[in-house]
Amino acid sequence: MTTRIVELRRGILKKNDELAAGLRASYAAAGVLVLNLVSSPGAGKTAFLEWTLTELRKRGVRVAALVGDLETDNDARRLAASGAPVRQINTHGICHLDAEMIGKHLANWEGVTLGGLDYLFIENVGNLVCPSSYDLGEAIRVVLLSVTEGEDKPLKYPTMFNSADAAVVTKMDLAVPCGFDRWAALKNINEIRPGIRIFETSVKSGVGLEEWLAYLEEQRKGRGHY
């Protein structure tokens, strides 16, 4: 009986990583800035994106969104009200989007080509754990945190917060009634991802949203998409 050790040294998510690398190259070639929005369920991703799509369209910016959801197409219908092209991805129980799902939905999206877009937003499934492992080829990963969730979310989900490029605090209009400890939240985000750009926003009061739009523009310019 022979026993042997075989060295494999193989990435478990290699297939996803390769597909994501292909997507990243096609986004760059088309000159579209792709953002992946992640948060826990109910943090306000859809409301935030609804506002962003509507406002960018008003300014003549070409935007579209892919939206992941376990079962329903409620979010896609809400986002479509902005007038932007929106496509639903139902994962049927899978807790995250992966590069293959993105590739498939981009490949046969009637009337939408990457080259015809300035920004593509991907609203991930509401989950602060699993989506962190799956690269979608995005240029920017945005993590959202609402004031109703508790200031220690970054400490509880360090992987997601550490892998994000920008953080958006949502529902700031509820900060006072919720007793939101702003300094603790900002400190915790910075402890997990030092130096990350943070936007404190509310789509109800409008606070912080101009800074967010300015950031989007700056990121596109910074990447030579203009």
Partner 1 sequence: MHELSIVTSIVESVTESLAAYPGAQVKEVRLRVGALASVVRESLEFCYEIAAEGTALAGSRLVVNVLPVVMHCVPCGQDVELEGVQSFRCPRCGEPCFDLRQGRELEIDSIEIEDGKEAA
130 binds partner 1 (CB under 8 A): yes
Nearest to 213 by CA among 41, 103, 3, 48: 48
96 binds partner 1 (CB under 8 A): yes
Minimum CB distance to partner 1 smaller for 11 or for 116: 11
Q: Could you tell me the smallest distance in angstroms from the CB atom of residue 162 to partner 1?
A: 6
Number of residues that bind partner 1 (CB under 8 A): 34
Minimum CB distance to partner 1 smaller for 1 or for 176: 1
159 binds partner 1 (CB under 8 A): yes
Count other C-beta atoms under 10 Å from residue 51's C-beta: 20
Identify the bridge partners of residue 35 per DSSP, sorted by sequence position: 121, 140
What are the backbone angles phi and psi of residue 152, rounded to the nearest 5°? -95, 10
2 binds partner 1 (CB under 8 A): yes
Minimum CB distance to partner 1 smaller for 111 or for 195: 195
CB 49 within 8 A of CB 121: yes
Strands (DSSP E) found in 147-196: 166-170
Q: Could you tell me the smallest distance in angstroms from the CB atom of residue 101 to partner 1?
A: 12
Q: Which two tokens stand for residue 183?
A: 């300094």
Given candidates 86, 192, 198, 209, which one binds partner 1 under the rule CB under 8 A? 192
Count other C-beta atoms under 10 Å from residue 37's C-beta: 26
Minimum CB distance to partner 1 smaller for 59 or for 92: 92
Q: Rg (Cα) of the chain, in Å, rounded?
A: 18
Minimum CB distance to partner 1 smaller for 6 or for 176: 6
Q: Which two tokens stand for residue 32?
A: 């579209």
193 binds partner 1 (CB under 8 A): yes
Q: Which residues contact 138 (CB under 8 A, 6 or more apart)?
A: 24, 27, 34, 35, 36, 122
12 binds partner 1 (CB under 8 A): yes
162 binds partner 1 (CB under 8 A): yes
30 binds partner 1 (CB under 8 A): no
User: What is the binding site for partner 1 (CB under 8 A)?
Assistant: 1-15, 94-96, 129-130, 132-133, 155, 158-160, 162-163, 190-195
